[in-house]
Structures are given as structure tokens and as C-alpha cells.
Chains A and B, each alone.
Chain A
Amino acid sequence: MTMSMTKLLKEGPKVVNIGVEQFYADLKTQKAEAVSMDWKPSAAGGDLLARLKKLRKGGN
């Protein structure tokens, strides 16, 4: 969904924050309309993640 520049300037931003909660807290301090989603990147690095995906698909 997009927001026109005029609407943005008139009504202010509506933000969905994903991840680091401090960005959400800063927006709220400035009274911006915002929601925060708790999300973290995968703990495993690229190589391990690829191998785990392979395992999930049934190995060799």
C-alpha cells in the first residue's frame, strides 16, 4: 500500500517497524503512528542455513 506525498505531509507517516524496537520507541516519542513487529534475523549464517534447508527437504 502506498501513501501520496500530499497525504504524508498532511497526516504524517504511518509506520510498521520490523526488528529493533528502539526505532519504534523513537517514532512514538515523536507521536508518529507506529506499530512494532518483533522479528530477528536467523541465528544461523548462510552456509548453515542452506544445509538446514537441505535437511528439512530430506537430506541427500
Chain B
Amino acid sequence: MIDIEKANGEALSRLLSAQPVVVGMGKAKDTVPGMKDRMLLHAGPPLSWETASGPIRGGVMAACMYEGWADTPEDAEKLAAGGGITFDPCHHHHAVGPMAGIVSPSMPVFVLENRTAGNTSYVTMNEGLGKVLRMGAFAPEVIERLRWMEKVLYPVLDAGIRLSVERGQELDVKNMIAQALHMGDELHNRNKAGTSLFLRAIAPFLVETCRNSADLAEVIRFIDKNDHFFLNLAMAAGKASTEAAHGVEGSSLVTVMARNGTEFGIKVSGLGDDWFTCQAALPDVLLFPGFTREDTNRDIGDSAIMETYGVGGFALAAAPAIVQFIGGTPKDAANYTLEMYEITEGENNMFTIPALNFRGTPTGIDILKVAETGVTPVLDTGAAHREPGKGQVGAGIVRMPAEAFLKAAGAFADRYLGE
């Protein structure tokens, strides 16, 4: 007979004891396991070009032009529609990607290692807000920025990270997340403190390794101007930690939550590699001037790994400043966090919330609790335009649909009741 409580305790313990640190960088084709030529990784559960949403299509078109596989968005569309590209979820490659989550072979990625279990995770560098590939934009400036990131940003950061590893002073992302929570971040839609902490930690290594002061200044300015730069690193830390909690027999804890702009999908620790999916939610978010709700695409991105990890929407009580950006009041933010304790296995031993008397964040979503209570996870997220090429339209709170959790709970009962 399976002991769910014991299994969930074990899965949560693995998640909480993970120690993700930055151990290197590399091009995706040389670094990400299973990455192949003419392959693009994307956010969320599996999809095909036919079912792909606008922002995924836009991101694919941008990646095709960035890789030199197509000269125009039209050519890129033809290539993808004609079966010239292999699509695979980031999560099938130990990777995560925000919004469209497109990873192409030439894109540089950070490599994080969970020092406790030894598993690794991968993530691209964050491009910034507005018209960017991850929001489905493919204008010339988007491609130009990606090329600058490959030619300038990547080598400068790579050299600094190498030195930090050589000295045994690897950048401790989990520690930065814990500190950022005490500085007003919730690590999904607000990464201002995390980005500052990252820059402060890596700066000495960059100064010691970069011989071109103009490049160094450009790199520091780019990171400084992009409050979301740390998001990708935090997501990879979440991936390395939640993946360590996967595969515990009898555990009903969620180890993956992700959206591809069409479908929302989850994976459960004790249910193998199966995805449990349903239609993605339509975010009712605060919109940037000039956009309407009809412009908004369905929920998208692997960034839901942050809530799976116990931060993001689950730590909204730590980030009163974010409510100005996503709508609501600081009291609403605290209430969202308090509600999430109803569907989680435990409280985080490292991530704490000052406003809740340093209570640990709600961590370890339990599909059985979601099914039993009707409470579904809240995310605070960005929203993309439904048409390719348009970029971000707003940000706000979105509830994950119950259906995927109910399907998973049904499969869990099938498997463990043996009926």
C-alpha cells in the first residue's frame, strides 16, 4: 500500500534540499542534452506548428531568421509549416524558457547544477521587455539584439562565470532568490532585486576577465536596464530543484507546470513522464496602453516553474510593489499567498516572507489538494499579443485551470488504487 504522505514528504525534501548554482555557459547545440540541428525548443507541453499560438509562431520565425535558416518571416513560416523544423518542449531537455521559450541551437545558455542531487538545468539569457523573441516579436531589432547577446554578452558572462567556478565561488542562485524575497521580489514578475544581486555577485569576475572596457560597460548597462535578467536564472534554479523531486513513487506533488499559449500542462512526481493537459487560461491582466483584451494570447511560458518552486504568485505577499504593475492591493497579494498554503505540501525552509512573520513560502503543489479544495495555483505573469510579431501586451494574475489537475488526480487514483 502506498504511503502518499511519506512519498510527498520525500519529494518535498528533495525539492527543498536542492542547491542550484551556476556552473557554466555554452551554445545550446553543444550544451543542452538532445539538442539537434534544425530543432527548436519551446515552452509548455508538446505542440505542432498547426496548434502553435501566435507568440510561439512569432518566436519560431525570429529564431529561424536568427539562425540564418530563413531571410524573412514569410520564409520562416513556410519552413516551419513544411515540416522543416523539429519542435520539442524545453522540459524534455532539462531546460526552461520564459513566454514562448524558444531555444535554438546557436543560442547561448546558462548551465546550473543542483549540488545536492547532481542534476543540471539549462536556460537562455533574458532579452528584456517589450518587443522580444520570447513575446513572439521578430522585427530586425529583435534579431540584432539576439546576435549582440551571442557575440558580446555571452563571451563576457561566460568568462566571468568560468573564473567564479575555477575559484570555487559559484554563483548561488538559491541564496540570491532567498535574499531577493526580502527585497521586494516575488521572482516571476519582479526580479529587480535578484538582477541587482546577480550583477553585484558577478561584477568582480567580469572586471577580472573582460579586457574590453567598452564591452564590459555595455554588458553591465544591458543587465542594469533589464529588471527581468535574473528571471531566467531563477527559472533554471527552479527546474534543477523540481526535477530532483520528480520520480518519487506515490508522490502527488507537481514537478512541472507549463503553458505553450494553447495548452496548459503539468507533470506529477509519482506519475512518470506523462503530461496532463487542458486548454490554457486566457489571462485577464493589466494591459499596456493601446491594447485590448481581445489582443491577449492564452497563457504562455515555462515561467510557471517559479510557482512550482514555491515563489512567483505563491510569494506575492513578499512583493507589495508588484501590485502596481499587475493590479490589486498589497492585501490582495498577501491573500493570494495565504490561499496557496491550502494546496501545498509544506513551507519553504529557505524562502521566507517578512510580511508574514518570515513564514516559509507555500511549496510543493499537491494535485490531490487542488482536486479536493477547488483552489488552483495563482501565477503573476506576462501576457503576449495573440498575433505573431507584436510582443508583450500586459501583465497580471492568472489562475491555472483545474482540469489538468483533475485529469492528473484521476490518473493518480487509477495507478495507486489499482482499480
Residues in A lying within 8 Å of B, measured CB to CB: 38, 40-44, 48-49, 51-52, 54-56, 58-60
Residues of B within 8 A of A41 (CB): 374
- Judged by a CB distance under 8 angstroms, whether B406 is at the interface is yes
Contact status A52-B409, CB under 8 Å = yes
Secondary structure of the B side of the interface? Answer: helix
From known contacts A51-B417, A55-B413, A59-B417, infer whether A43 and B374 are also in contact, taking CB-CB under 8 Å: yes
Binary per-residue interface labels of chain B (362-384) against chain A in the complex, 1 for a CB within 8 Å, 0 otherwise: 00000010111111100000000
Residues of A within 8 A of B290 (CB): none
CA distance A42 to B372 in the complex (A): 5
- Picked from A38, A44, A48, A59, the residue with its CB within 8 Å of the CB of B416 is A59
Q: Known contacts A51-B419, A56-B4; can you find 17 more A-B pairs with CB under 8 A?
A: A38-B339, A40-B375, A42-B372, A43-B371, A43-B374, A43-B376, A43-B406, A44-B371, A51-B417, A52-B372, A52-B409, A52-B413, A55-B412, A56-B368, A58-B1, A59-B417, A60-B417
Q: Does B351 contact A (CB under 8 A)?
A: no
Decide if B372 touches A49 in the complex (CB within 8 Å). yes
Q: Does B402 contact A (CB under 8 A)?
A: yes
| B1 touching A42, Cβ below 8 Å | no
Query: Bound complex: CA of A42 vs CA of B343, how far in Å?
Result: 12
Q: Which 3 pairs from chain A and chain B are nearest by CB?
A: A40-B374, A43-B374, A44-B371
Chain A neighbourhood of B416, CB < 8 A = 55, 59
Instruction: List B contacts of A60 (CB < 8 A).
Output: 1, 417-418
For chain B, the count of residues having a C-beta within 8 Å of the partner chain is 24
Contacts of A38 in B (CB 8 A): 339
CB distance from B383 to the nearest CB of A (A): 24
A48: which B residues are within 8 A, CB to CB? Answer: 371, 406, 409-410, 413
Instruction: Indicate if the CB atoms of A44 and B4 lie closer than 8 Å.
Output: no
Whether A40 and B409, one on each chain, are in contact in the complex, defined by CB atoms closer than 8 angstroms, is no
Report 23 cross-chain contacts, Cβ distance below 8 Å, ordered by A residue.
A40-B373, A40-B375, A43-B370, A43-B406, A44-B371, A44-B409, A48-B371, A48-B406, A51-B410, A51-B413, A51-B417, A51-B419, A52-B368, A52-B372, A52-B409, A52-B413, A55-B412, A55-B416, A55-B417, A56-B4, A56-B368, A58-B1, A59-B418
Question: Does B217 reach chain A (CB closer than 8 Å)?
Answer: no
Do B375 and A44 touch across chains, with their CB atoms under 8 A apart?
no
CB distance from B332 to the nearest CB of A (A): 12
Complex Cα distance, B406 from A56, in Å, reads: 16
B2 adjacent to chain A (CB < 8 Å): yes
In chain B, what residue has the closest Cβ to A58? B1
B314, CB-defined interface residue at 8 Å: no
A41 to B375, CA, bound (A): 9
* B405 proximal to A (CB < 8 A): yes
A58–B416 Cα distance when bound, in Å, is: 10
CA distance A55 to B4 in the complex (A): 8
A31 CA / B53 CA spacing, docked (Å): 47
Measured CA separation A43–B416 after assembly (Å): 20
